[in-house]
């Protein structure tokens, strides 16, 4: 392994140790001029650019929300700015999205049980 001279960290690759020393002990930061994001690793900055800046954005004209799909922007505007609601016809539940109402009705009124992919 490659031990750090400044702490107890031991890396399996010399390149990883160099990145560790730069970010943890030398204060090296990676910043892009298009936003205020600052990363301690170049890979994190690359990921940020791809996720936040290289996908098509659909900004809301009423708040700071940005969607990556026009359909998501429409759902956002309907629920947050237009007050669109979907009431359950069997109880007092009110959803902000059709998909939420469907899940509610399935679980509460139709006996459907969804399994959790995180649990046994």
| pLDDT tens-place string over residues 27-71 | 888 888 888 988 888 888 988 888 788 878 899 999 999 998 899
| pLDDT tens digits, one per residue of 72-116 | 999 999 999 999 999 999 999 999 999 999 988 998 999 888 777
List the Cα angle 24/36/73 in 5-degree steps.
125
Q: Say if residue 15's pLDDT is above 90.
A: no
Contact 61, 67 (CB under 8 A): no
Entry pTM = 0.47
**pLDDT for res 84:** 94
20: buried, middle or exposed (CB in 10 Å: 19+, 13-18, 0-12)? buried
Residue 3 β-bridge partners: 10
**pLDDT for res 11:** 85
76: buried, middle or exposed (CB in 10 Å: 19+, 13-18, 0-12)? buried
Between CA 119 and CA 63 the distance in angstroms is: 37
Q: Say if residue 120's pLDDT is above 70.
A: no
């Amino acid at each position: 392994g490659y031990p750090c001279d400044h702490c107890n960290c031991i890396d399996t690759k010399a390149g990883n140790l160099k990145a560790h020393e730069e970010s943890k002990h030398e204060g090296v930061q990676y910043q892009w001029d298009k936003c205020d994001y600052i990363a301690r690793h170049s890979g994190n900055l690359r990921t940020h650019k791809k996720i936040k800046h290289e996908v098509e954005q659909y900004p809301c004209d009423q708040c700071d929300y940005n969607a990556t799909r026009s359909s998501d922007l429409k759902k956002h505007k309907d629920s947050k700015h237009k007050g669109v609601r979907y009431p359950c016809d069997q109880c007092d539940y009110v959803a902000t999205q059709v998909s939420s109402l469907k899940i509610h009705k399935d679980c509460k009124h139709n006996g459907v049980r969804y399994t959790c992919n995180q649990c046994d």
